[in-house]
Structure 1
């Protein structure tokens, strides 16, 4: 099987590539060829035993999509995106990358009449907009309140329509906010959700820009990779024409996050969180959904953590080699 990952230099793309390189499979299906694509050349999966190609390419540039599908990969994982805060700040860039790039890919596949791959499309909870019911199901209307959410909603509609027309076999997965993201903060408005845990776990100060009662929907990076693996290999007949689903996760407040951090790392870690209200971030986050009914995705075989403590434990296992943080003696 040939897998192409677009957006492979990002955190999820890199982890997916590394999982494939380590196991030689995606899900239970063997992979003998792996193509990694991003605007900067990806470095992940250098130890892959099969044929590995890494490319620097901008999907929104004319001709790029056609070049990427020329070798007819069996599965295309489309993760490339300008994230929420940046898409809101730079209107033109958000639409060029998130909408124009997506349509360029879909149309390149469409014009090859004898080619119909599995396409896994990374969507977002931002496709939904307030006012919300207490729990949001997959049938709730798409009324995004940000440019990023609008771009992702358009991508979802294209995925459904192109799949309905038989151009490809699409699966759209709405990721929860991935927490705890390793590495440095990105430009997403949700970045602080990871920062208030990641930095204290590493003995560093973190800034909290919103109130403790802000509630959101979370899953780990490990769960995110699992979502993609399952979407790439599942039987899609049961999905019918409704190809986009919200992934399972944990609904938690900032206060819940902080208490889970206290359970794992103690008061010393919690004391490293500094509250600095940011009205711009608070305004964006206020329009986001908070809790979901993911029965459909669960019935289709998608799985995630069931508590925020589990999400922190996954981070310790995957990013800190299972070490318990010694915050009290950590030098900042």
Structure 2
């Protein structure tokens, strides 16, 4: 039985695919035997159980071809991220909104009620909210990316209410530290100020050092996404939106942990160069979300900021 993962060529999508193919992974009693990735590039995993469909995630014909009778679930991770969606409105609408509806409609047409995992974001919220922000607070985005994700959340909930899908919406924290090169997310600096110094390279922080960030390690994030996909829908109740666990960390605290683990010379490689456009987007996001319900459902948060950096070093640097 198969699971479809959009964005499977990305580091988070590839890690989720790898996790879903671990021995014994099941959905509703059915064993996951293969995963289909839909992305603009092939999934980097060298595994015969992974099939890559290279193309536009909003291409309805491609989606329909990939949606086999043995499909159990769809994990929609593909997105045009924050700064890029702000710079290219049409592209953001196509990937973040039109593709979401195309996938939902394909699931609706499927003979079985499929599980649908939608990766949303804390960017659906705006500034000035009570913190930690409860799940029941309505979205107040201050970016096109946040608005597109908020609309997607409502669609997934409504399609679930109508019985078309078995949906679950996961509001993702900022992931630290992402391996590889910086992307076009406004929060990309949060990984760069850890990743680059650990490689002996300089990094730039464009925001205030006291700005609180809501963070998760890739390790915790992938585990929580897998748990969300496998969790019985009845446990979620009628409202299918979850604040995925994270921890609140300021930039200064992140650099303090870097120094503790890798020395003062790594911290010295971070330069502070304010960027008003990036600061405006990131500062509009809450520094913490209420995660009481997700924790009660078995989701997990990183223990502390040192754990986040240690996980990156262990998983990607073998240190």
State TM-score, norm by structure 1: 0.92
Asked if 1:246 is matched to 2:243, the reply is: yes
Determine whether 1:19 maps to 2:16. Answer: no
Structure 2 spans left out of the alignment, 5+ residues: none
The offset of 1:135, in angstroms, is 1.4
Assess, with a 3 A threshold, how the Cα gap between structure 1 residues 26 and 175 changes in structure 2: closer, same or farther.
farther
C-alpha deviations, 1:181-215, integer Å up to 9, x for none?
11110000000011001111111111111111111
Residues 87 and 26 of structure 1, relative CA distance in 2, 3 Å threshold: farther
Structure 1, residues 133-190: CA drift from partner, whole Å, max 9, x if none? 1311101111111000000000000000000111110111111100011111000000
2:83–2:184 CA contact under 8 A, matched in 1: yes
Q: Counterpart in 1 of 2:36?
A: 35
Paired position in structure 2 for 1:330: none
Aligned to 1:161: 158
Contact kept in structure 1, 2:176 and 2:216, CA below 8 Å: yes
CA displacement at 1:30 relative to structure 2: 3.5
Q: Which residue of 1 aligns with 2:198?
A: 201
3-state SS in 1 of match to 2:249: strand
1:58 equivalent in alignment to 2:56: yes
Cα pair 1:249 1:306 within 8 Å, conserved: no
Aligned residues: 318
Q: Is the CA contact 1:179–1:194 (under 8 Å) kept in the aligned structure 2?
A: yes
RMSD: 1.6
Shift of 1:85: 0.7
Question: Could you list the runs of 5+ residues in structure 1 that have no partner in the other structure?
Answer: 324-332
DSSP 3-state at the match of 1:245: strand
Match of 1:329? none
Q: Deviations over 1:100-120 (max 9, x none)?
A: 0000110122234x3211111
1:98: how far off?
Answer: 0.4
- Tell me the alpha carbon deviations over residues 6-55 of structure 1, each in whole angstroms, 9 at most, x when there is no partner: 110111001112233454636997321221221112222x235xx43111
Alignment of 1:213-232 (within 5 A): 213-232=210-229
Give the whole-Å Cα distance in 2 for the aligned partners of 1:310 and 1:287: 26
Native 8 Å contact 1:40 1:56 kept in 2? yes
Residue-by-residue CA offset, 1:245-289 (whole Å, 9 max, x unaligned): 111111010011010111101110000001111111111112111
Shift of 1:69: 1.5
Contact 2:153 2:169 in 1 (8 A): yes
Distance 1:9 1:151 in 2: 22
CA contact (8 A) 2:131 2:286 kept: no
Q: Does 2:118 match 1:121?
A: yes
| Aligned residue among 173, 176, 193 for 1:176 | 173
**8 A contact 1:179–1:218 mirrored in 2:** yes
Does 2:2 align with 1:2? yes
1:74-153 matches, within 5 Å, as: 74-112=72-110, 114-153=111-150
- Aligned with 2:189 (options 189, 192, 199): 192
Give me the whole-angstrom Cα distance separating, in 1, the residues matched to 2:106 and 2:25. 26
- Of 287, 303, 306, the residue aligned with 1:306 is 303
SS of equivalent residue, structure 1 residue 37 = strand
TM-score of the superposition, structure 2-length normalised? 0.96
